[in-house]
Amino acid sequence: TRVDDVPAPAPPGTKETFTVTNLPGGQRYYFAIKSNDFEGNTSALSNVISQMSELTPKLVITPLEITVDLKTAERSTRTFLIHNDGKGTLEFSIEPLSGNPSFASVNIAEGSIPPDGKKTIKVNFDAAGKRTGTYRQDVVINTNDPLKNRAIVKLVMKVDDNGVRIASATPETIN
C-alpha cells in the first residue's frame, strides 16, 4: 500500500524520519522505499524493514446526549459510559466544563480503561439560580484512540419554574 503525504526529501546525507499513523494495532507492517530521479527513473526497492504496531484502544461512549427536565433549584445526577472496545489501554481526560452559565459538573477528570473495560461518569445537574429555559453544555473527552481522539457528550437541561415566589412587594412599601 502506498503512503501518501510524504514530505520532500532533505539534502543528501541528512538523516530523515517519517511516521505512518492510523494503522490498526497488533499487526506486522513491512516498509520499503522506491524513489524517482529528475529524469523519471525509478529505483529498485530498498531494504525492507518490519514493525509490529502497538495495540490500540477504541473509544465508545453511550449516550452521546443527556437531557434532564428540572424545576428551578432542583438537582439531578445522570451518567454516561466510556467503553474501551479496543485491544490497548484507553487513556482519557475530560476538559473542565464551561458554559454560560455553567450548570453541570462531572465526578472524574481523567483515567485509564483496560481493553473491554468500562467507566461510568456521573454528571451532576444543578438548576439552582436558573431561570425557565433550556441550557446547553458540552463534556469534551480527549483520548489516545488514534481514530477518535476527541469526543463530545452534549448536556441539555430544561428548567421550568417551580411556582415558588422569590420575592413580593406591594406599592405601599416601595420608596
pLDDT in tens, 102-114: 899 999 999 999 9
More confident residue, 106 or 167: 106
Mean pLDDT, the chain, rounded, equals: 89
Is 35 within 8 Å of 43 (Cβ atoms)? Answer: yes
What is the CA 132 to chain-centroid distance, rounded? Answer: 30
Per-residue CA distances from 106 to 81, 94, 145, 151 (Å):
12, 9, 21, 15
Residues counted in the chain: 175
Per-residue CA distances from 119 to 80, 84, 106 (Å):
9, 9, 13
Whole-number pLDDT of residue 171? 66
List CB contacts of 22: < 8 A, sequence separation 6 or more. 146, 147
Whole-number pLDDT of residue 2? 77
User: Of the ranges 2-6, 49-53, 96-100, 102-106, which is most confident?
Assistant: 102-106
- pTM for the model stands at 0.71
Whole-number pLDDT of residue 113? 97
